[in-house]
Amino acid sequence: MATVTTGAATPEVLEEHWSETPGLGSFLTTVDHKRIGKRYLYTGLLFLVIGGVESLVMRIQLTHSNLHVVDPETYNQLFTMHGVTMMFLFATPVLSGFGNYLVPLMIGARDMAFPRLNAFGYWVFLGAGAFFYSSFVVHRLPDAGWFNYTPLSDSVYSPGPNVDFYALGLIFVGISTTAGSINFIVTILKMRAPGMSLNRMPIFVWGELAMALTVIFALPALTLANVLLELERRAGFHFFAAAGGGQPLLWQHLFWIFGHPEVYLVVLPALGIASAIIPTMCRRPMIGYTYIVLAEMAIALIGFGVWVHHMFAVGLPSMGLGFISLTSFLVVIPSGVQIFAWLATLWAGKPILKTPMLFVLGFIVLFVIGGLSGPMLAAIPLDQQVTDSYFVVAHFHYVLVGGAMFPIFAGIYFWAPKMTGRLLHEGWGKVSFWLMFVGFNALFFPMHILGLRGEPRRTYTYQAGLGWDFLNLVETIGAFVLALGILITFVNWVWSAKRGEPAGHDPWRGESLEWATTSPPAEYNFENIPTVRSREPMWDQPELGPHGQPAEAGGRGLGGGHNTLVTSLLEAEPEVVAPMPHESPWPLLLTVALLGIFLGLVVRSWVFWSVAAVAAVIATAGWFWPRGETQET
Amino acid sequence: MRCRRGPLAPGARTLPAVAVALTVGGCGGKTSVVSPKGPAARSVVGLWWPMLATATAVFVFVVGMLVLAAVRGRRKTEDDAAVTPGWGEPFIVVAGVVVSGAILVGFFLFSLQKVQALTDAGRRSKLTVSVVGHDWWWEVRYPNGAVSANEIHIPAGVRVRLALDTADVIHSFWVPPLGPKIDMIPGQHNTLWLQAGEPGVYRGQCAEFCGLQHANMIIRVVADAPADFDAWMAREAQPADDAATGGPGRPVFETQSCAGCHTVRGTAAAGTVGPDLTHFGRRDTLGAGVRPRTDGDLARWITDPQSIKPGAAMPPTTLSPADLRALVAFLEGLR
Amino acid sequence: MALTGEAPLLVPTGQPDERLPTVGTGTTNFGWWGMVLFIAVEATVFALLLASYFYLRFRSGPVWPPDGIEDPKLKLVLIMTAVLWSSSLPVHLAHAAIKKGDTKKLRAFLAAGFVLGATFLALQVAKEYPDIARHEFTPRTDAYGSMFFTITGLHGAHVFVGLLMSAWVQLRAWQGAFDRYRHVSVQNFVLYWHFVDVVWFFVLLTLYLSPHL
Ligand code: HEA
Ligand code: HEA
Ligand code: CUA
Ligand SMILES: [Cu+2]
């Protein structure tokens, strides 16, 4: 091929190397980060609907005192699976989905560093979701709460398989999250387009990086806790039960060493979404870029030192509590820095109030409300009053739904046009936003008041005459208004994907590289991998167009093969032209084998899981078996 | 119970948060954190109002600026040049680090001082009551041998120390109008002090999820005038007297399964699985607060507790109508 | 095999006069980064597990190991330690060999490392565990026993995985897949193996030595 000698690339040649033959085959074997990213998004949003419907049933049950819509056991399963679904199957995967789709585009790469591992991550997430909900078929959904405290969750007080589904399911989904995070880190550190030194990297990418690093050091605690729990439940080991010399609090420590970083790793990429939209809609660079980046890293870091604030009421000595209280107060500072940087940018920039911007503004308002109840909970005596009451439920829905779901919706309005090539409808977008905003506040604001009035969380009903009925009614109404708002966006999205206004490659006049691709982007993303000379390349480098950058201006075609560019860690100088792996069935097959292992464990069939384990070994060998395409060594 | 206005906290009137304060404090006073009925809760509320006021101020500032930024001088065309203000980064540092930092450190120290005060005060209590959490009821023991359940009597105006344990999973002792909560954890002995300013009944609920009937694990703290309390405690320590145990209900109780789980001092019944019933007739509620203690409910509770408290660790019992009537009378008579 | 190996293809990137290799080693190879991050995850697991051990220990009262269990015996474990740690040397030499392109030495040293690792594992599974379980305690005895077997068992599982990796790398070495430019799998296996050896230091310190203090 002539191209090999010059290094130039043409769409035809790239097409030949990169296109995946349509059909079922490539559906099951794809390694394209854009297809995988969209799958994460759609599957995660499906779980939002499932978790959301669970919460609506809870809301109906709580509309009034002494209702019997569901029995206590069902209610316990509902809130447990609502929490688990929303945290592990909705928020984290959807944000990974945005990351998967956008990170390679934003940093000017042709795929993620480990495309097959990427596919594997998705399949495992899907498999784990299926595993969790297979418990529904046998009516044994997990029922000990999303933090599953022992001894309630041990084999004495939870003899059924419910908790096994919880523990094994979390170990399973953890494989996906860990694989995804390793992939993000390597991609971000080693695949940035030439010239995109770390200090030119989009803040959204920083957010994904902070999230991934947090996963690496936080998730092992959850996995370990669940492995120990299963050993105790199934094999008679002693870790948590006081009887055999164990400590119930060991579980709580391990869970929250993971759990607190977990809530920040949900919010970090969401903050990144806001930081991507604000400058675009203000038509000016972010004021305080460096401060925001440092703040995100500080949040991730300090987040590892606050876990005991979930345990202020367990009776620990007040010395240690004081220290944790201090770190919990301090983590507010980087959050505030972000808020004030956004405010400065908004003030200087006169934002254009299109739907994505509305969702971002709504997010800031809600996140500040939710954030402000944070230090109240960090104040030990106050927390000892309101912990485990609806006040805490209000706090975390403001930061989670306000702080993560609203940015996700902003992201949908902002980037769906990139994915489908068509804009969502503005008018319906605004209707959806206002319904969601009003419904949200009606749903969650009263929870502060109810918490202060003494309503404990995780109660399937409450007594009359306590002054709790009216506000609970308001909340339930709010929940349905919120659901309607969400529904409108979904319909809007589906409708616009076919009939919306064509978006063009850069509908918002964004500043980062994802807008230097066609909408939707070609399979290889960029014809020529651009050279970046600014923090806002799309604004400062007029030569960047829908196909990347012409070779004369610095673009690299890499010979048009199935290659991507490896660059150096800090300054992103080109180092290696790495051939990338093609479609592969093994990630899916390995996932099926893993699913078999976990199902075998839960039904306690020794034969079942050993057969699956052998299958898993075979699948791993198949995966790594040299095929000559990436010069495996 | 109708919803009545509780008294506003002293500081609340001066705050920008009066509207919130009214809705929060004004209703459901019996179980409310913000209408404190004892010194511990009052101390916490002294932290709450200033924090709420400050949070409100921060909120007004941030959202005010946000709204102004959004509506002020909307751009005429999409291409309006962006100005780069010189105050941008200094603003971030001053507002985000200096001012916020000062506020946060201030509240941290303030809250720490409250922790200290609350701990110190606990050292000066005269009476220790032992409370044990069970799935899903509370066992209460006094130093003079009195045993009760689901109801803690304390002398009003006196600091009482609670020694908290659990017989099974983690529970959490929380009576909002009287003060902070603390968990009851297997293998660990926690304590809490309790003081009610005025005689009265204060309602609380188990606050740590403990299974099926976590929602109906209700505790009532009854603060009596000190003299009444002494009389109550002395009476509670007595066995059931002949007047109560002389009737036809006693043999039913002793021969049915009841005696295997419940104790009635002064009879042969000495079970320890369920609540001590020696003075059941003097309690206000049934089934850890799930119902008021009225006749109709008691009979139903005995024959089919699951219909009142699904999951409760008491099995149904089939009895002849006569036996049931006798048993109800017996239990009612345990005064 | 030749001592040098064929230098990797240099391909033009599309910028004038710029040609880059198609294979990287060390930090220019994704695989190295993947392994380092994987090790970070694993190290966190071990750190938390050892921390859990100390947590249980310090909350369990003055006697440790708990009543009826003697302090861990050291003779066998010190032999095992010697065997395990000595395996790091051949593994290191194997790496050094392939960096120079010497595939013969690579194969020999990999095999030596494998034998030492397998010996460690055999001693643990066939000698140490049965002895302890028969005469002293099992994982079901109490929290001490559970922790002991969980931590050493997890480490043993890592040795086992390391052996599987070694087997794979040896297979590929016999197929002639490696030369001085292309040996990321060797490099990753070596990293992993050293990591497993380092972890043993902390396991030894915590489980076997600290109770004697
Ligand atoms: C996205 C998730 C998220 C985020 C971002 C946060 C943010 C914070 N959280 Fe929250 N939290 C949760 C999710 C989250 N939390 C969840 C899920 C739980 C409960 C889990 C469960 O029990 O089920 C919880 C519970 C929880 C507790 C334990 C409550 C209890 O169970 O008793 C505490 C206690 O300290 C706490 C504190 C904080 C603090 C200090 C912050 C801070 O980071 C907030 C900082 C932000 C701001 C304050 C707003 C912006 C700042 C400014 C405008 C600057 C000026 C402000 C001041 C000067 C005050 N959180
Ligand atoms: C990201 C995380 C997240 C999100 C998004 C949500 C979203 C919601 N949550 Fe939350 N919640 C948690 C995380 C989250 N939650 C956690 C961690 C807990 C603690 C669990 C525990 O204690 O163990 C909890 C607990 C919790 C409780 C407390 C239960 C208890 O303690 O007894 C309640 C009660 O109202 C509640 C309600 C809701 C509601 C109404 C929504 C709504 O925002 C949901 C809105 C979404 C939908 C409704 C679905 C989409 C809508 C449609 C497709 C429209 C069409 C459908 C219909 C109209 C049917 N949640
Ligand atoms: Cu006891 Cu909840
Ligand atoms: Cu936290």
Q: Residue B77's pLDDT is what?
A: 61
Q: Which residue of A has its CA nearest to B51?
A: A376
Task: Tell me whether residues B62 and A385 touch, CB distance under 8 A.
Answer: no
Give me the half-sphere count of Cα atoms (radius 13 Å) on the Cβ side of residue A220: 21
Examine the pLDDT at A11 and tell me if it is beyond 70. Answer: yes
Q: pLDDT tens across B73-93, in order?
A: 666 566 655 667 788 899 999
Q: For residue A249, how far is its CA from the centre of ligand 1 (angstroms)?
A: 22
Q: Residue A585's pLDDT is what?
A: 94
Instruction: Please state the rounded mean pLDDT for residues A21-25.
Output: 81
Q: Which residues line ligand 1 (CB under 6 A)?
A: A 263, 266-267, 309-310, 328, 331-332, 335-336, 339, 368, 371-372, 374-375, 377-378, 383, 387, 392, 395-396, 399-400, 403-404; B 58, 62, 100, 103-104
What is the helix (H) or strand (E) element at residue A564, kind and residue range? strand A563-567
Confidence of residue B120 (pLDDT cuts 50, 70, 90): confident
In this predicted structure, which of A189-193, A467-471, B35-39, B84-88 has the lowest mean pLDDT?
B84-88
Q: Residue A323's pLDDT is what?
A: 94
Examine the pLDDT at A74 and tell me if it is beyond 60. Answer: yes
Q: Residue B76's pLDDT is what?
A: 59
Ligand minimally distant from the alpha carbon of residue A374: 1
Work out the burial of residue B46: count CB atoms within 10 Å of its CB; fewer than 13 is exposed, 13-18 middle, 19 or more buried. middle
Query: Cα–Cα distance between A279 and A288 in angstroms, integer?
Result: 11
Task: Tell me which of A42, A47, A54, A55 to substitute to probe ligand 2's pocket, judged by most ligand atoms within 8 Å of the beta carbon.
Answer: A55
Break chain A down into helix, strand, coil percent, rounded to 5.
Answer: 70, 5, 30
Q: Residue C142's pLDDT is what?
A: 92
- Which pair of tokens denotes residue C54? 């100390």
Examine the pLDDT at B4 and tell me if it is beyond 70. Answer: no
Query: Cα–Cα distance between B329 and A502 in angstroms, integer?
Result: 81
Q: What is the distance in angstroms between the Cα of A268 and the nearest Cα belonging to chain B?
A: 18
Q: pLDDT tens across B188-216, in order?
A: 999 999 999 999 999 999 999 999 999 99
Query: Cα–Cα distance between B182 and B190 in angstroms, integer?
Result: 7
Atom of ligand 2 nearest to the CA of A460: 32
Instruction: Please state the rounded mean pLDDT for residues A541-547.
Output: 91
Q: CA-CA distances (angstroms) from residue C7 to A567, A568, C99?
A: 20, 21, 13
Task: Tell me whether residues C28 and A566 touch, CB distance under 8 A.
Answer: yes
- Which pair of tokens denotes residue C2? 């030749």
Query: Cα–Cα distance between B124 and B242 in angstroms, integer?
Result: 40
- CB pairs < 8 Å spanning A and C: 170
Q: Residue A2's pLDDT is what?
A: 36
Neighbours of A85 (CB within 10 A): 24
Instruction: Please state the rounded mean pLDDT for residues A342-357.
Output: 92
Instruction: Please state the rounded mean pLDDT for residues A118-127.
Output: 98
Residues A295/A331, Cβ–Cβ less than 8 Å: no
Across the interface, which of A326, A340, A369 has its CB nearest the CB of B108? Answer: A326
Probe site for chain A from B71, B77, B173, B208 (most A CB atoms < 10 A): B208
Helices (H), A318-354: 318-330, 332-349
Q: Which residue of C has its CA nearest to A7?
A: C14
Query: Cα–Cα distance between A583 and A27 in angstroms, integer?
Result: 10
Residues A45/A111, Cβ–Cβ less than 8 Å: no
Give me the half-sphere count of Cα atoms (radius 13 Å) on the Cβ side of residue A458: 29
Query: Cα–Cα distance between B31 and A451 in angstroms, integer?
Result: 10
Residues A526/A110, Cβ–Cβ less than 8 Å: yes
Q: What is the distance in angstroms between the Cα of A246 and the nearest Cα belonging to chain C?
A: 6
Q: Are β-strands B151-155 and B218-224 bridged in parallel, bridged antiparallel, or unpaired?
A: parallel
Q: Residue A198's pLDDT is what?
A: 96
Instruction: Please state the rounded mean pLDDT for residues C52-80.
Output: 90
Q: Are β-strands B147-149 and A563-567 bridged in parallel, bridged antiparallel, or unpaired?
A: unpaired
pTM to 2 decimals? 0.95
- Tell me which residue has its CA closest to atom 36 in ligand 2: A55
Q: Which residues line ligand 3 (CB under 6 A)?
A: B 133, 136, 171, 206, 208-210, 214, 217
Q: Residue C10's pLDDT is what?
A: 85
- Which pair of tokens denotes residue B327? 């048993």
- Which pair of tokens denotes residue A445? 């604001």
Task: Tell me whether residues A149 and B118 touch, CB distance under 8 A.
Answer: no
Name the 3-class secondary structure at A151.
coil
Query: Cα dihedral sign for A270, A444, A257, A135?
Result: negative
Instruction: Please state the rounded mean pLDDT for residues A89-112.
Output: 96
Residues C41/A220, Cβ–Cβ less than 8 Å: yes
Q: Which residue of B has its CA nearest to A76?
A: B212
Q: Which residue of A has its CA nearest to B103?
A: A329
Q: pLDDT tens across B286-330, in order?
A: 999 999 987 678 999 999 999 999 999 999 999 999 999 999 999
Q: Residue C27's pLDDT is what?
A: 87
A contacts of B100 (beta carbons < 8 Å)? 332-333, 336
Instruction: Calculate ∠ Cα B44-B46-B47, nearest 5°.
Output: 70
Q: Which residue of C has its CA nearest to A565?
A: C13
In this predicted structure, which of A170-174, A580-584, C21-25 has the lowest mean pLDDT?
C21-25
- Which pair of tokens denotes residue A387? 């912990």
- Which pair of tokens denotes residue A271? 């903050």
Q: For residue A330, how far is its CA from the centre of ligand 4 (angstroms)?
A: 13
Q: Residue B13's pLDDT is what?
A: 38
Residue numbers of C between 149 and 208 with CB closer than 8 Å to A = 149-150, 168, 172, 177-178, 182-185
Helices (H), A379-425: 380-386, 390-397, 406-420
Q: Residue B56's pLDDT is what?
A: 97
Q: What is the distance in angstroms between the Cα of A329 and the nearest Cα belonging to chain B?
A: 6
For B134: left if phi > 0, alpha if psi spans -120 to 50, otherwise beta; the answer is beta
| Length reported for chain A | 633
Q: What is the identity of the amino acid at B227? A: A
- Token pair 């909002």 in the structure block, residue: B176
Query: Cα–Cα distance between A597 and C182 in angstroms, integer?
Result: 35
Q: Residue C68's pLDDT is what?
A: 81
Name the 3-class secondary structure at A17.
helix
Residues A307/A346, Cβ–Cβ less than 8 Å: no
Residues A589/A622, Cβ–Cβ less than 8 Å: yes
Q: What is the distance in angstroms between the Cα of C37 and the nearest Cα belonging to chain A?
A: 6
Q: Residue B81's pLDDT is what?
A: 59
Atom of ligand 3 nearest to the CA of B211: 2
Examine the pLDDT at A582 and tell me if it is beyond 50. Answer: yes
Residue from C130, C145, C123 nearest C75 by CA: C123
Confidence of residue A632 (pLDDT cuts 50, 70, 90): low
Task: Tell me whether residues A454 and B203 touch, CB distance under 8 A.
Answer: yes
Q: Residue A26's pLDDT is what?
A: 85
- Tell me which residue has its CA closest to atom 44 in ligand 2: A52
B contacts of A468 (beta carbons < 8 Å)? 28
- Token pair 């002294």 in the structure block, residue: B46
Name the 3-class secondary structure at A244.
helix
Query: Cα–Cα distance between A523 and A17 in angstroms, integer?
Result: 10
Residue from A250, A240, A245, A232 nearest C66 by CA: A245
